[in-house]
Amino acid sequence: MTTAEFMYQIGLLQKLYGYEMPKDLYAMYWAMFGKYDTEQFKGAVQGIVKKFVPTASVKFPLPAHFLEAIGETGANRSRLAVNAVKRAIGTHGAYASVDFGDGALHRAIRAMGGWIEVCGWSNETWGYREKAFLQAYEAESTVGGDYCRPVGIHEANNAMIAIDAEQRRGIGNSDKPKAIPWAGYVRQDAIEAMQQKEIENSVDVAGELNSIVDSIGNI
């Protein structure tokens, strides 16, 4: 989904509910929902229109309403995560580093032995370890932690032989992480933009406070 498509759908909801969304909320919603394809997000908007009733305290659908409309809750999200891992294994395999845009999923992979290990699981192994994987992801989703992007064989080997930048360029991009789009992928560029906006806002506030303090001191 492009930003224009996202803004169009959000704009429809703003017109319907008579609510003007602040720019910082736009960034937050985009960071959470820009990962979905257009039809998926459009369907969620249509579901919200059918069910959401604004109140004095909640004038516009919250992220929870979107997540519910998309169907990304609890066990369903865990299932989507495991399916994304299986697809990535089939598409990229153990040699490629990957990025699912979800630290909780990365930590669950690490808890299961790491990306290279999980890529080597047979159908039989998945049969008796999948439940543990689901539980690991659900647990990591609640506690938080490091991002720990899954590393493939190429990147691991390149790190071990300690080559310089010129040699690394000669090898190519075999160790460049593959972005794996799925329902849980968080757009890092959108998050960084939102964080930068927060920093700029905090600087503006700090400047205003300093001006007030200075003016008081001059009285």
Residue type, 143: V
Residues in the chain: 219
Q: Each residue of 107-123: pLDDT tens digit?
A: 999 999 999 999 999 99
Angle CA 113–117–123, to nearest 5: 115
Final residue of a structural domain among 43, 71, 99: 71
Give a yes or no: residue 208 inside a domain: no
Tell whether 91 and 168 lie within a shared domain. Answer: yes
CB 108 within 8 A of CB 160: no
Strands 178-179 and 98-99: parallel
Tell whether 121 and 91 lie within a shared domain. Answer: yes
Tell whether 40 and 82 lie within a shared domain. Answer: no
CB 6 within 8 A of CB 187: no
Q: Dig out the tokens for 36 from the structure.
A: 């979905």
Give a yes or no: residue 94 inside a domain: yes
Q: Confidence band (pLDDT; 50, 70, 90) for 182?
A: confident
Whole-number Å distance between alpha carbons of 14 and 204: 28
Whole-number Å distance between alpha carbons of 122 and 119: 8
Final residue of a structural domain among 48, 71, 94: 71
Give a yes or no: residue 188 inside a domain: no
Mean pLDDT of 136-157: 86
CB 199 within 8 A of CB 192: no
Judge whether residue 140 has pLDDT over 90: no
Final residue of a structural domain among 71, 93, 115: 71
Tell whether 66 and 84 lie within a shared domain. Answer: no
Q: What local confidence, expressed as pLDDT, does residue 216 receive?
A: 44
Q: Each residue of 55-93: pLDDT tens digit?
A: 988 999 998 888 888 775 556 778 888 999 999 999 999
CB 27 within 8 A of CB 197: yes
Tell whether 60 and 78 lie within a shared domain. Answer: no
Domain that includes residue 9, residue range: 3-71
Tell whether 90 and 16 lie within a shared domain. Answer: no
Whole-number Å distance between alpha carbons of 141 and 215: 48
Residue 17: is it exposed, middle or buried by C-beta count within 10 angstroms (0-12/13-18/19+)?
middle
Mean pLDDT of 184-209: 52
Tell whether 22 and 98 lie within a shared domain. Answer: no
Tell whether 36 and 125 lie within a shared domain. Answer: no
Give a yes or no: residue 207 inside a domain: no
Q: Each residue of 86-110: pLDDT tens digit?
A: 999 999 999 999 999 888 899 999 9
φ, ψ for residue 8 (rounded to 5)? -65, -45
Residue 52: is it exposed, middle or buried by C-beta count within 10 angstroms (0-12/13-18/19+)?
buried
Q: What local confidence, expressed as pLDDT, does residue 168 receive?
A: 44
From the list 5, 157, 150, 136, the residue with the least C-alpha distance to 78 is 136
Tell whether 81 and 174 lie within a shared domain. Answer: yes
Output the pTM of the full model: 0.56
Give the chain's domain count.
2
